A and B are shown apart, each in its own frame.
Chain A
Amino acid sequence: MICKPYWGRNKVSATKTTILLLLSVVFFFGLAVETASAQKRFSRNFDASRNVRLTLTNRSGTVIVEGWNRNQINITASMESPTANIQPEEINGTIYVNLIRDNQGRGEVGNVNFQIRVPFNAMVDIETKIGNLSVSNVSGGLVRAHISLEGDITLTNIGASSVAAENVTGDIFFDGEIQDGGNYRFSSMKGNINIRIPFNSSFKLVATAPSTRDISLGSFTNTSLNYVGDGRRVIGRFGEGSATLSVTNQRGSIAFIRR
């Protein structure tokens, strides 16, 4: 029986381990480089007037819009491969970002995830085909979030007098003030719609959930709000009925939460 010296076996094993470690390092660096090359970034700033409006049309990806205390709009985007073209433009105080127009005729375009900061009093109009939309800390005249297919819409700390949120599949959450004389519209085909508003709000309500009949008024239950159509719709007034609130969920639930 021939036996190798102990120290010799250890040396071979150490060499193998070193090689494996080196290969692992090379592999992970390679992956990181590949990822870095697939993810491109876009960033641009625009000086904003007092009543600036942002109009963004995405194709697929997440859009996050936040209000900040600066008269400036900052747009940052991370783009997955195949990289989309982004050509924002400013026309008469409105910032337009339209990825459908900028990538017309291109078959496949990777997700584009936006992180945008706007002045508190900006008007925000965003839409996408697929992906989540989120808007927070905005009190301008308008907040509109539209998802053509699927994705969640989250509107937090909103003080706009005109708000619209609509998707086909996905949840909608609104947290904000109901302004007197304002107009608020939430519409989904399949998902849950949750409205979180102050108890001193004043609005006329039409809430319809025909399939589930799941309409929860919570603290807002009163004698002026009535269930009609075998519980498929709630119609009536809360407070003075100053604002107009329309909520439709074809195959999901509607809930009101006290803020």
Chain B
Amino acid sequence: MDSDLEETKASEVRAHLAVCMDCAAVCEDFAAIVDASHLDETADLLPPNSQALWCRINNLIESEIRPEAPAVEPPKRRLWQLSFSQMAAGFVGIAVISSLLTIVGIKNYTQPAADDFTTRSASTQTTFEKIAGKLGLMETPQQARERRIRQQQAAIAYWNDRVQSRREQWDKNMRDAFDRNLSTIDQAVNEYTLILQKDPQDDLSGEMLDSAMTEKMNLLREFSDL
């Protein structure tokens, strides 16, 4: 190759190559390599974007280099880590509480506050309502009645103030009749109040007290602008 051999040796090699196909093939390969190395322009041999190619090669190499494994920490104990039975019990509990809250919400929405102790008297209370009442989740009929009475008393006080400022303009007959009848209503109110103090479970007296208080409130309101 490249005229490195003497002429005699070269003649012997050529003769051999002429008859030996394997050696001839090897010689051709070498010759091609030597010819390529002698070319001036190397552009035809470079890939279109050699920089990008090297970048990809670098990335491949770096990815093959495994990072150093971090030190393995002992596993932490999770607070919510529960057994299957505990989780099942939890789900059942959530379902029950949601149902209770829904029922309470629906009841509060559908029942007007004004009628709650008459519609939910002790005798008509369901077992659920009794339990909820004892747990403080729901008003008992007595609590509802007391709340209702407080509201009525506030309204009565308001209308009574207005009546007091107007009554001087009425004639004497009207004033006397008003006082007489208001006294009759008050007698009924006092009577039912006493009965309820002795027997808070007396729903009928509770209903009548509510009726008498409402009557008094309506009377005062009616006369407040006379």
Contact = CB atoms under 8 A, between A and B. Distances in A.
Nearest to A127: B222
Nearest to B185: A189
Contact of A169 (B171, B181, B212): B181
Interface in A149-177: 149-150, 168-169
A250 B212 CA distance: 8
Nearest to B189: A250
A130 B187 contact: no
Contacts of B178: 149
Contacts of A229: 204
Interface string A180-197: 000000000110000000
Interface residues of B, number: 25
Nearest to B208: A210
A34 interface: no
Contacts of B187: 251
A208 B188 CA distance: 14
B192 to A, nearest CB: 8
A40 interface: no
How would you classify the secondary structure of chain B's contact residues: helix, strand, loop or mixed?
helix
A108 to B, nearest CB: 4
Given A149-B181, A169-B181, A189-B185, A129 B208 contact: no
Contacts of B171: 107-109
Interface in A54-73: 60
Given A107-B169, A189-B185, A251-B187, A208 B208 contact: yes
Interface string A232-259: 1100000000000000101100000000
B209 to A, nearest CB: 10
A100 interface: yes
Contacts of A233: 204
B226 interface: yes
A189 B188 CA distance: 8
Contact of A190 (B174, B177, B184): B184
A84 B174 CA distance: 15
Given A129-B223, A169-B181, A250-B188, 18 more contacts: A60-B173, A107-B169, A107-B170, A129-B177, A130-B174, A148-B219, A148-B222, A149-B178, A149-B219, A189-B184, A189-B212, A190-B184, A208-B204, A208-B208, A210-B192, A210-B204, A233-B204, A250-B208
